[in-house]
Structure 1
Amino acid sequence: MTDPNAQPPYEQPAGQPQQPIAPAAPFTAAEDKQWAMWSHFGGVLSWIPPLIIWLIGKDRGRLTDQEGKESLNFQITMVIAWVALLIVNSILLFVPLIGGLIGTLLYLALLVVQILFPILGGVKVNGGGTYRYPVNFRFIK
Structure 2
Amino acid sequence: MTQLQRMPSNDSMTVAVLNWIGTLVFLFVPPLMLYQNRKDDPLVFDHAKEALNWSITVIIMSVALWIVTGWLLLRVLMLVHLVFCVLGAVNASKGVSYRLPFNIRLIK
Same topology, TM > 0.5: yes
Q: Which has the higher contact order (CA 8 A, sep 6+)?
A: 2
Q: Which runs of 4+ in 1 moved over 4 A?
A: none
Match of 1:138 in 2: 105
Match of 1:69 in 2: 49
1:138 Cα offset (Å):
0.7
Q: Does 1:44 align with 2:11?
A: no
The whole-number CA distance in structure 2 between the counterparts of 1:38 and 1:132 is: 17
1:128 Cα offset (Å):
2.4
SS in 1 for 2:105: coil
1:36 Cα offset (Å):
1.8
| Structure of higher CA gyration radius | 1
1:58-97 superposed matches below 5 A: 58=39, 60-89=40-69
- Counterpart contact for 1:57–1:64, Cα < 8 Å: yes
Amino acid at match of 1:128: G
Deviations 1:93-139 (A, max 9, x none): xxxxxxxxxx52x1221010111101111011102222111110111
Among the aligned pairs, what percent are the same residue? 34
Q: Which has the higher helix share?
A: 2
Aligned length: 100
1:43 Cα offset (Å):
1.1
- Give the TM-score taking structure 2 as reference length: 0.83
Query: Over aligned residues, Cα RMSD in angstroms?
Result: 1.6
Match of 2:74 in 1: 107
- Give the TM-score taking structure 1 as reference length: 0.65
- Match 2:9 to one of 29, 32, 41: 29
Match of 2:4 in 1: none
SS in 2 for 1:77: helix
- Counterpart contact for 1:85–1:107, Cα < 8 Å: yes
1:39 Cα offset (Å):
1.6
The whole-number CA distance in structure 2 between the counterparts of 1:29 and 1:128 is: 8
